[in-house]
Amino acid sequence: MKLKEIAIVVATGAAIASTAFGQAKLTIKGSDTLGAKLVPQLKADYLKSNKGVDIEILAQGSSHAFSNLLADTADIGMSSRKVKQSEVDKFNVSGKKLVEHVAAWDMIAVIINEKNPVKKLSLAQIEGIFTGSITNWSEVGGKAGEISLYTRNTSSGTYKSFAKLAMSKKDYASNSQKMEGNQPICTEVANNLNGIGYVGLAYAKGNDYKTVKVDGVSAKPSKVAQYPLARKLYYYTVGEPTSEVAAFLKYATSNDAANAIVEKLDSFQHLLLTHP
């Protein structure tokens, strides 16, 4: 089955969203990009008018979205990448169908230490740095110093998206240091003058590190159509969502809900549901 055939299907299998003692429980697992900041804030806002719901969020990486949906241990999967055909095949073998829901547009920001004088990098330079062919900051207009690479780990959808968007799908340099989430990358880069990493736009602003322009374009929401490292974020369900799952997803993917969060928290400016 082709990826495009997963879009509209009839719900199959038993959902784990349940009601106990009058309270519905909803379990959401997967992407750190969505699950560490954005979805918890959507949850908090949603529960203000839906008090009889218990929502559990576990953010360990996009691959966990699909493994948990397949195992019936999640109602909603969060992913910062599109589902792979090999993952779709596993669901098909189990008689389950995936439904894709666009959560938002995000921009992968390339960050360096605040004291690093470099202000911009081309995609070719970024590819060279992260694949290991460029190893010193002096090769890209900076002060001499061996470059330290910080990336997401292999279970992360951002790890795979960055390789596709910035590295022509080439392998990461063997000396790259793999982190479990966006925040650890920010911390390492902030503490290392020669560090470089990438994070979701929600993490782009912080102390002691800064973003660089990519091909002359800043990682700003107003530039999402031109920014080379922009990508969609997704929710996935097994079958068309119903009951509480459907209600939460309708809320989470509506412009009104998105705009409310954007207005309250500047860090969620990556939530751009008016797609370019």
CATH number, residue 123: 3.40.190.10
Q: Which one-letter amino acid corresponds to residue 68?
A: N
Do 100 and 111 have their domain in common?
no
Q: Which one-letter amino acid corresponds to residue 259?
A: N
Look at residue 68 and tell me if it is in a domain. Answer: yes
Domain range spanning residue 246? 3-105+232-268
Look at residue 238 and tell me if it is in a domain. Answer: yes
The length of the chain in residues reads: 276
236 near 87, Cβ under 8 Å?
no
Do 113 and 211 have their domain in common?
yes
Do 55 and 144 have their domain in common?
no
Tell me what percent of the residues of the chain surpass a pLDDT of 90.
67
Do 47 and 66 have their domain in common?
yes
pLDDT for res 22:
59
Do 122 and 206 have their domain in common?
yes
Do 110 and 216 have their domain in common?
yes
Host H or E run for residue 252 = helix 243-252
pLDDT for res 23:
72
pTM of the model: 0.79
Cβ burial of 92 (10 Å; 0-12, 13-18, 19+) is middle
Pairing type for strands 53-59 and 23-30 reads parallel
First vs last C-alpha separation in the chain = 28
Look at residue 273 and tell me if it is in a domain. Answer: no
Do 76 and 119 have their domain in common?
no
| Over residues 226-248, mean pLDDT | 95
- Please give the residue that has the higher pLDDT: either 52 or 91: 91
pLDDT for res 254:
79
74 near 28, Cβ under 8 Å?
yes
pLDDT grade for 259, boundaries at 50, 70 and 90: low
Do 183 and 144 have their domain in common?
yes
Look at residue 274 and tell me if it is in a domain. Answer: no
86: its two tokens: 């090999």
Pairing type for strands 148-152 and 195-200 reads parallel
Q: For 142-188, how does the pLDDT look when each residue is reduced to its tens digit (9 = 90+)? A: 999 999 999 999 989 999 999 999 999 999 999 999 999 999 999 99
Look at residue 253 and tell me if it is in a domain. Answer: yes
Do 96 and 110 have their domain in common?
no
- In whole numbers, what is the pLDDT of the chain averaged over residues? 87
Domains in the chain, number: 2
Residue 170 DSSP symbol: P
| Over residues 220-247, mean pLDDT | 92
Do 127 and 205 have their domain in common?
yes
Q: For 117-127, how does the pLDDT look when each residue is reduced to its tens digit (9 = 90+)? A: 999 999 999 99
- Domain end call among 186, 204, 223: 223
Cβ burial of 41 (10 Å; 0-12, 13-18, 19+) is middle
Do 9 and 91 have their domain in common?
yes
Look at residue 276 and tell me if it is in a domain. Answer: no
